[in-house]
A = this chain, B = another copy of it.
Amino acid sequence: MGLLVRKLNSLGTLTAAEHRLLCDHPLVVRDVGPDQDLVREGDEPVHCLLLLEGFACRNKSLRDGRRQILAFNIPGDFVDLCSYLTQPMDHSISTLTQVKVGTIPHGTIADWTERFPNLCRLLWRDTLIDAAINREWMVNVGRRSAYQRIAHILCEMAVRLHAVGLAQDYSCDLPITQGELADATGLSTVHVNRVIQELRGDGLIALNGRSFTALDWEGLKRAADFDPLYLNQLAAARGHSGQVI
């Protein structure tokens, strides 16, 4: 539960009792391979999933097979906390890589939130930040050019991975294919490929296989019109770890 404690502490302050509660909770861990659905649209899960290792994504598919990726999930993310209060699922959660997930029964969350209003607020806030990321993605897909979209999503991943210690010196492991990037940005795979080459040509990024480096962080941010405010609103407002990169 260390990851969860760390995450919630970045959103506010856990009391000692809450800290103990979470640390004492025995987490059931499950291993899942790449390209599997952790939860499927229409499911009515009875527990929430905490992503401990690996990458996943939130996505919705149309009947004709096209799909939209709504968010990338990284270690520490409470992947489907929303299933605690909204059923059935209106979207799926799929793994991108091999992952480890912890499962927490809805009953446990109900118990926690009734007894600890502060913890409840932190969990609620976590879902609100997910929503904020969604909003930013919507602007991305609706109003930015292909070049800006890709740059923006790369900026976001760099900041978020840095925040959980999975990026150093502007580089990180990014096991996301160009096809997945296309589904996340509302573009075609072919066009994503061309844009990435343009970004490479402009000296902004290095991206080969699973490894990503922002060669010119400031330039990339400028190209993307990136403002990390939406990612960690409270932390930033309180002057905490905030501006990580």
Q: Is A139 an interface residue (CB 8 A)?
A: yes
Q: Within the complex, what minimum Cβ distance (angstroms) separates A129 from chain B?
A: 7
Chain A residues 175-190 with CB under 8 Å of chain B are 185-186
Tell me if A82 counts as interface (CB < 8 A to partner B).
yes
8 Å CB contact of A127 from B67, B124, B141, B185: B124
Say yes or no for A117: interface residue by CB 8 A criterion.
yes
Instruction: Determine if A136 and B90 form an interchain contact, defined as CB atoms under 8 angstroms apart.
Output: yes
On chain A, the number of residues with a Cβ less than 8 Å from chain B's Cβ atoms is: 47
CB contacts (< 8 Å) of A117 on chain B: these are 113-114, 117, 120
Q: Tell me whether A240 is interfacial, beta carbon within 8 Å.
A: no
Q: Do residues B138 and A70 form an inter-chain contact, with CB atoms below 8 A? A: yes
* Contacting residue for A62 out of B68, B90, B144, CB 8 A: B144
A63 at the interface (CB under 8 A from B): yes
- Given A138-B138, A186-B142, A125–B237 Cβ distance below 8 Å? no
> Chain A: interface secondary structure?
helix
Q: Contact residues of A with B, CB < 8 Å?
A: 44, 58, 60, 62-63, 66-68, 70, 82, 85-88, 90-91, 113-114, 117, 120-121, 124-125, 127-132, 134-139, 141-144, 185-186, 225, 229-230, 233-234, 237
19 new A-B contacts, CB < 8 A, other than A67-B143, A87-B233, A141-B141, are A60-B136, A68-B143, A70-B135, A70-B139, A86-B125, A86-B132, A90-B132, A90-B135, A90-B229, A91-B135, A117-B117, A120-B120, A124-B124, A127-B127, A127-B128, A130-B131, A137-B138, A138-B141, A141-B142
Q: A233 to chain B: closest CB distance in Å?
A: 5
Bound complex: CA of A157 vs CA of B14, how far in Å? 40
